[in-house]
Structure 1
Amino acid sequence: MNEFDFLSHEQLREHLYVVHESFEKGSCFNIFVVTGDDKTAVFDAGFGVTGGLRRYIETCITDKTPMVCYTTHGDLDHIGGAALFDEVYMNERELPKLEWNLNVERRFSDLKMFSHNNQELIEFCRKHYVCNEHLKTKNIEDGDEIDLGNIKLEAIKLPGHTPGSLAYYNRTENYAIMGDAILRTSSWQRCRDLQECLDCYTRFIEMVPEDIILYSNHGYETQTIRDCLELKQAFEEILAGDTQEDEPFQLIFEYIDPEELEYDVRQHKCGSYNVPYDSKVLPQNP
């Protein structure tokens, strides 16, 4: 067993690659790599339970430096390997949860689930994980431009899954890297302001072409603007109080944010989506 065993990649466009991090069939965490003339951008950094991500990119994709990590949000399966890179950018609204998301035992608790309790794999990872408890980040805001030389991407705020979630939009090539903002079948909304979520998704839909390609950080399928429209509709229905048929939603992880233990999590069905949310944020549930 070695650090590259959990990684594979494919080229999506001339300068865009995706690295798949997977520990068992059915679990797939995506890390997007954009190769520019001046530097390499790595969008999210996986679990970090092995230290091989940067070496894999340098060996299989590009060794262009500096190599900078831009996070879509601060969840542990997106920032685990961030310390491997020269700089790390994250929206400051994610910082209150950063220590919680860098907790090593929580990371391995999740790995136990995603690997179906593969003890050989878990023990290997315990010897090779990325130590990033003191990760330093730089702030990135809505509208900020990332200039890689010949390629530019724009940060667009999409709060919902987390308060500081960002999408990264390549206007020239008509794609966006979405993180967990758009996840087929289920999209857990932890932002406390659902009206802000609705406003930001509405703005995103209005500012991008209808044929845009959306890349999420889980699974192998791309998404379309239709997925955004369904999620927008879900926000509208929840805020309008159309929640009478919403059922309780069970969080599946062993380690749960203590704040989230106080949530009354319901799931709202809209089209192909289930949208879990905390019903306590709604006006009728003060």
Structure 2
Amino acid sequence: MQVFTIPVTPFIQNCRVIVCPETQATAIVDPGGEAEKVIAQLDTLGLVPSMILLTHAHLDHVGASTELSEHFNIEIIGPHQGDQFWLEALPMQSQMFGFPNHAAFLPSKWLNDGDKVKVGNLALEVRHCPGHTPGHVVFYEPNSKQVLVGDVLFKGSVGRTDFPKGDAAQLKQSIQDKLFTLPDEVVVHSGHGENTSIGFEKATNPFMSGRFG
């Protein structure tokens, strides 16, 4: 799986473009904003996306979804239905985060733990990882050993749990059960900041070792 990163919004959120190297099938993951920047990058790469995938429904991860869906005539898929209240509250989120107003929307399809999403010959495994938000999911591609984790896990840190329906204990359990059970060499693509690996976070992440939190 090829992964291209497009930092968007003042929150420097990592919108990802994932590509099946065999078929060039393409998906956009977490388009948080700046749709024109995402479109320009896709044009530069010569790629046409077939879907939008969402890890969770915070505005800085979904803000350009509707515009890109309409531009490319593609479906929005995910996250888990536990985040429906966040999508319905997008106008409130816009005020909360100081973004231009965003209208509420719902995806074409919700995702559940154990689902698989096909992007060309890629079969992304969906793992439900609540805690940062109740409907957060991650996408694991086992052949290339890469996982897109949204705001569940970061290099040396974990996702915030002080937003509505966040749960710190649940987040740690999700990381332990759904991420730290992956091979150590798996590359972790986080929603903000640089990449890391499962092994590095298992060995050093202070929030999971008990040193913090």
TM over 0.5: yes
Aligned partners of 2:152 and 2:158 also within 8 Å: no
Question: Residue 159 of structure 2 aligns to which amino acid in structure 1?
Answer: S
| TM-score normalised according to structure 2 size | 0.79
Partner of 2:182: 208
1:114-153 residue CA offsets vs partner (Å, 9 max, x unmatched): xxxxxxxxxxxx6xxxx75142312011111111122221
Partner of 1:18: 5
After TM superposition, list the pairs within 5 Å mapping 1:146-161 onto structure 2.
146-161=117-132
Q: 1:93 aligns with which of 64, 77, 82?
A: 82
Question: Residue 169 of structure 1 aligns to which amino acid in structure 2?
Answer: Y
Question: Residue 151 of structure 1 aligns to which amino acid in structure 2?
Answer: L
Distance change >3 Å, CA 216–CA 102, structure 1 → 2: farther
1:222-246 residue CA offsets vs partner (Å, 9 max, x unmatched): 1222435644444xxxxxxxxxxxx
Percent identity reads 21
SS in 2 for 1:34: strand
Question: Residue 142 of structure 2 aligns to which amino acid in structure 1?
Answer: R
Question: Residue 55 of structure 2 aligns to which amino acid in structure 1?
Answer: T
What is the CA-CA distance between 1:197 and the residue it aligns to? 3.4
What is the CA–CA distance in structure 2 between the aligned matches of 1:29 and 1:52, rounded to whole Å? 15
1:189 aligns with 2:191: no
Structure with max Cα Rg: 1
1:55 aligns with 2:29: no
1:22-78 residue CA offsets vs partner (Å, 9 max, x unmatched): 54xxx52101111232732111011x3x44144224312233242x11111110100
Question: Residue 88 of structure 2 aligns to which amino acid in structure 1?
Answer: E
1:157-176 residue CA offsets vs partner (Å, 9 max, x unmatched): 11111111111111011111
Aligned partners of 1:182 and 1:228 also within 8 Å: no
Question: Residue 40 of structure 1 aligns to which amino acid in structure 2?
Answer: T
Aligned partners of 2:29 and 2:53 also within 8 Å: yes
Aligned residue-pair number: 198
Question: Residue 153 of structure 2 aligns to which amino acid in structure 1?
Answer: I
What is the CA–CA distance in structure 1 between the aligned matches of 2:141 and 2:124, rounded to whole Å? 5
Distance change >3 Å, CA 52–CA 96, structure 1 → 2: same
What is the CA–CA distance in structure 2 between the aligned matches of 1:192 and 1:20, rounded to whole Å? 25
* 5+ long unaligned stretches in structure 2: none
* 5+ long unaligned stretches in structure 1: 1-13, 112-125, 235-268, 276-286
1:223 aligns with 2:209: no
